[in-house]
Amino acid sequence: MTAVIAAARRQTSWTQALELAAVAELSRRRHDQESGLAAQGMGQLQINAIVVDEVSLALTLTGTAAAGWVCLAEQLADDLPVTAAALVTGRIDLKRAQIIADALRGVERAVATEVETAVADDAPGLTAARLRPRVKRAIRAADPQAFEQRRRAARDERRLELWDNATGTSDLAIRNITTGDGHAIYNRINAAAQALKTDGDPRPIDHIRADLTLALLRGLPLPEAIRDLLTGGIDPAPGQADREPAPTRAGDDDGADLLDAMDRQITQALAGITEEHLRDLLTQARLDGRLDGLALLITQATQAMADGLQRLRDSWCQSTGNDPDRHGHDGYRPPAGMRRLIERRHRTCVFPTCNARSTRCDLDHTRPYDKGGATCRCNLAPLCRRHHKLKQHRRWRLFQLWPGLLIWITPTGTWHIITPDLRE
């Protein structure tokens, strides 16, 4: 049975290596395709962002996770052939490959090759905890000056980070502080926590360390923080008790609630019809061998659906709006009430994997205002600045078939349908 387990792990490593190689090839092709635009002023950072967004959609990853995946794929393909080969053959798994790649990111090619060669034989037999210091020693031995420069560069990127977890909790971390500072802070908190444990605190030591750290970060001096823990623990700060944020309500007007419900039913029905139609087109394109032109085919079909719904969409918006004699708002900037409606309809940026809150996004005209796009709930959607720029790229398309029903089309012709229900 252990042989089966090991074989499954090798198979997994090979599959992940194949995925990373495909990501690297996608990145290479996109950079080749955009090379003309780069000469016209589109920088490499913008092209990289486009690649990241495409991978984000393909793998349903956040932008941050997709960026890390693209970076690893490019690094293995371009700079770390020994590590890439070890992953393909299953001699190392993905975690070990990431450890090596993270440690060698930014290192000169010659040094990276020397380090790869030095750790290649040991890596398969080392746990992740043992591999990290092994790679670190190899880098320092290969080029002590470069090692020190990278340490200083990392120090310049020190920061405080916060993540929200699916469990309703959060993680807080200080990144890239000096090793000495990190150990000193931990040792001081750990010593106090161990003393509390010795004095009879029944909680696990990890809980004591976490509660003590929280008390110190809230501004309590260490003696007072210890005293508070001894007398019953740290209570949440006033007004900060653990609870779910109250949902944003459309208002108490029953008519507005009814309109929202009707809009949702219509968008869900149209979304289903649209998905079925586009899947039929994809199936036929495969049968006809026309996948090279899939992006154009899907774009044309979606445009035709948008055009076919235009009169009905405009009539619906006009009859359910504040002024039955006018479609939308006369000016470019939507009134406050319209903005609130759209921010309630889409709580985040309408790019499928983006979590930027709509209240911090641009309220974008899906069809540009200067090209006849209305300032109306059927033509407005929240886009963060990054995805606002992506929408303007010539290879990406965004349509709004119905108020709140949007369709993204990628350069490869894949589509992603957004509805209010899916975004809330």
Tens digits of residue pLDDT in 327-352? 888 889 999 988 998 998 999 999 99
Q: What is the pLDDT of residue 229?
A: 66
Q: Using the 3D structure, point to which of 213, 230, 247 is the last residue of a domain.
A: 230
Mark whether 165 and 154 lie in a shared domain: no
In a domain, 235, yes or no: no
Look at residues 55, 87, 85 and name the one whose alpha carbon lies nearest to residue 69.
55
Whether the CB-CB separation of 57 and 352 falls below 8 Å is answered with yes
Mark whether 260 and 398 lie in a shared domain: yes
C-alpha distances (whole Å) from 75 to each of 68, 101, 156, 176, 367 are: 10, 7, 22, 21, 38
In a domain, 245, yes or no: no
C-alpha distances (whole Å) from 350 to each of 277, 323, 356, 358 are: 22, 27, 9, 8
* Average pLDDT of span 55-61: 95
C-alpha distances (whole Å) from 347 to each of 356, 380, 397 are: 9, 13, 21
In a domain, 132, yes or no: yes
How many beta carbons lie within 10 A of that of residue 248, not counting itself? 12
Compute the distance between CA of residue 190 and CA of residue 206 in angstroms, rounded to an integer. Answer: 9
Q: What is the pLDDT of residue 44?
A: 65
Is residue 83 scored above 90 in pLDDT?
Answer: yes
Mark whether 61 and 151 lie in a shared domain: yes
Mark whether 344 and 361 lie in a shared domain: yes
* Average pLDDT of span 211-238: 69
Report the number of distinct structural domains present in the chain. 3
Tens digits of residue pLDDT in 88-106? 999 999 999 999 999 998 8
In a domain, 188, yes or no: yes
Mark whether 206 and 297 lie in a shared domain: no
In a domain, 242, yes or no: no
* Average pLDDT of span 285-293: 89
For a pLDDT cut of 70, what percent of the chain falls above it? 88
Which of 215-219, 230-234, 254-258 is modeled with the greatest confidence?
Answer: 215-219
Q: 3-class SS at 233?
A: coil
Tell me the average pLDDT of the chain: 86
Mark whether 259 and 401 lie in a shared domain: yes
Task: Tell me which of 301 and 229 has the higher pLDDT.
Answer: 301
Q: Which amino acid is at 214?
A: L
Burial of residue 406 (number of CB atoms within 10 Å: 0-12, 13-18, 19+): buried
Is residue 249 scored above 50 in pLDDT?
Answer: no
Q: What is the pLDDT of residue 261?
A: 77
Tokens encoding 121 = 């034989």
In a domain, 249, yes or no: no
Task: Tell me which of 315 and 416 has the higher pLDDT.
Answer: 416
Tokens encoding 143 = 């080029």
72: left (phi over 0), alpha (psi -120 to 50) or beta: alpha
Is residue 244 scored above 70 in pLDDT?
Answer: no
Which of 35-39, 310-314, 315-319, 419-423 is modeled with the greatest confidence?
Answer: 310-314
Q: What is the pLDDT of residue 233?
A: 53
Q: What is the pLDDT of residue 290?
A: 85
Q: What is the pLDDT of residue 231?
A: 64
Is residue 252 scored above 60 in pLDDT?
Answer: no
Tokens encoding 23 = 């990501």
Q: What is the pLDDT of residue 321?
A: 73
Query: pTM for this one?
Result: 0.76
Q: Using the 3D structure, point to which of 132, 158, 184 is the last residue of a domain.
A: 158
Mark whether 260 and 370 lie in a shared domain: yes
Is residue 225 scored above 90 in pLDDT?
Answer: no
Q: What is the pLDDT of residue 318?
A: 83
HSE-CB at 179 with a 13 A cutoff on CA atoms is: 3
Q: What is the pLDDT of residue 230?
A: 63
Whether the CB-CB separation of 92 and 17 falls below 8 Å is answered with no
Mark whether 125 and 153 lie in a shared domain: yes
Q: What is the pLDDT of residue 257?
A: 67
Mark whether 280 and 404 lie in a shared domain: yes
Tens digits of residue pLDDT in 115-154? 999 999 999 999 999 999 999 999 999 888 878 877 888 8
Mark whether 181 and 147 lie in a shared domain: no
Tens digits of residue pLDDT in 293-303? 999 999 999 99
Residues of the domain holding 110: 2-158
Is residue 250 scored above 50 in pLDDT?
Answer: no
Mark whether 105 and 183 lie in a shared domain: no
Q: 3-class SS at 404?
A: coil
Q: What is the pLDDT of residue 66?
A: 95
Q: Using the 3D structure, point to which of 158, 182, 200 is the last residue of a domain.
A: 158
In a domain, 396, yes or no: yes
* Average pLDDT of span 209-221: 84
422 pLDDT tier (thresholds 50, 70, 90): very low
* Average pLDDT of span 225-231: 67
215 pLDDT tier (thresholds 50, 70, 90): confident
Task: Tell me which of 98 and 188 has the higher pLDDT.
Answer: 98
Mark whether 167 and 195 lie in a shared domain: yes
The sign of the dihedral angle between the CA atoms of 316, 321, 323, 329 is negative
In a domain, 362, yes or no: yes
Degrees to nearest 5, angle at CA 206 with 205 and 211: 100
Q: What is the pLDDT of residue 245?
A: 45
